[in-house]
Structures are given as structure tokens and as C-alpha cells.
Amino acid sequence: MPNETFNIWHGSAKSPTWNMAADELLLRQSAIVGQAVLRLYSWNQPSSSFGYFQRYAEVSLWTDLRPLIRRPTGGGLVRHDENEWTYSLTFPSGHAWWKLKAEISYQQVHNWIRRAFERCGVMTELCSEVVHAGFGQCFIGAEKNDLLYRGKKIAGAAQRRNREGLLIQGSIQAKDTGIERSSWESAMLEEINWKDWYPVETFIENITTLSQQKYELDNHNLRR
């Protein structure tokens, strides 16, 4: 991706609801931002998130980790704790990534992550076929183009593509690789043009409002 220019947002640890609201607002405002944004973030408490189209009544039986928050993207149940690295990517409509078919953008982001691990001396590979093991749970089994380390899934993602842009939310569980997150992040940035970026104060205020008025409410998380 030699011609790509990304805004890089290194965020501090935030609440589960704030994190989901931030990613949704990045998608809504992607045309205003005008460039791709890679957000690298963490959580201020252990929590779980689940896909937009999943049923709360089902996923709540698979984990006792709370809070349990519905994501703006699809995919399955994901555990978020100190061993997990979380990122999101947003692209405005019309961007080259937005134009890709979902399978290709999924493959492309995991190839990017794979190359970053390789720079760190860790060899990983893309999953060539679906491995059924735990329906609806992201890190039990694997989907095609998930990232594998020694045959085990260590990275998955979910997408939402609409008229506003493309949002990719990804989770990496790389404890077994022995790599520090900072090393992986640096390796990710080696192949792109990038600049540090942080939203203006009104954007941050809007994230907080969206978190309070949507992601903190049962009528959002318990729907379906």
C-alpha cells in the first residue's frame, strides 16, 4: 500500500461503550475526515462485544464477561482484555478500500497484519478455508482469510460498508507470539504513509453523547 495515506489515532484506554461509539462516529464522519483512519485502542475494563446481527439472548450464554456490548459491525463474540489488541479502520465512500468486495478488503487487512508480524520475526498465515468449531464465537474456529499462528486463529475482523464509508473493526490475540504490541504497531506503519491525528473537541463530545444515548442503553444491546 505504498500510495496510501492514513491518519493514525492512538487513543487511551476507554470504556467499551465509548470505543464502539467512537468507531461508529468515525464511519459517520468519514467524508468530513476525508482520509483513511487507523485507530489503535484499548479498553479500560475487561468486556465482551458481539456482532450487530447476533441475538443477545444467545451470546449472553457464551460468556459471563460484562459489559456485553453490541458492535456496529457484524461478526461474532469477542473477548476484550489485557491480552487483546484492538484496532479499527475507516475509509470514506469512494476510497479504493470502500470499492473492494467484502472478501477482498478482509483479505487485504489481514495480509497487512501478516506482513507486520513477519517484520517482527513471527510467521503467520491466512486461513484457506472455514474451520467450524464455535458458531458465533469469533476466536473458536476460523473463517477464510482469518490470520493463523501455528494453526490457531489470532486475528479476526468485522466490517460495515454503507453510503458513508467502510468501517473495519479488528481484534488480535497475539499473546502466544511473544511480540509486544508496540513492535507490531510500528511494523504496521512501515508500509504506509501516515500522520498522527486526533479528533477535535466537538468530535470527542459527540462520541460521549453517542455512547450515552445508544451504546449504554439496553434497548440497543438487548435488541434482536
In the chain, DSSP finds a helix count (H) and a strand count (E) of 8, 11
User: What phi and psi values does residue 186 have, to the nearest 5 degrees?
Assistant: -60, -40
3-state secondary structure of 125: strand
Q: In whole angstroms, what is the distance from residue 116 CA to residue 154 CA?
A: 13
The answer to whether 138 is a known catalytic residue is yes
Matching residue, cell 482469510: 145
Q: Can you say whether residue 172 is alpha, beta or left, with left for phi > 0 and alpha for psi between -120 and 50 degrees? A: beta
Question: Under 8 Å CB-to-CB from 224, ≥6 apart: which residues?
Answer: 53, 54, 55, 56
Distances (CA, A) of 82 to 86, 107, 123, 143: 10, 26, 23, 24
Q: Name the catalytic one among 138, 157, 168, 179.
A: 138
E strands, the chain, in order: 5-10, 36-41, 47-50, 68-70, 78-80, 85-92, 125-126, 147-149, 152-161, 165-172, 193-196
Q: Which of 147, 16, 25, 131 is nearest to 69 (CA)?
A: 16
**Overall size of the chain counted in residues:** 224
Q: Supply the residues annotated as catalytic.
A: 138
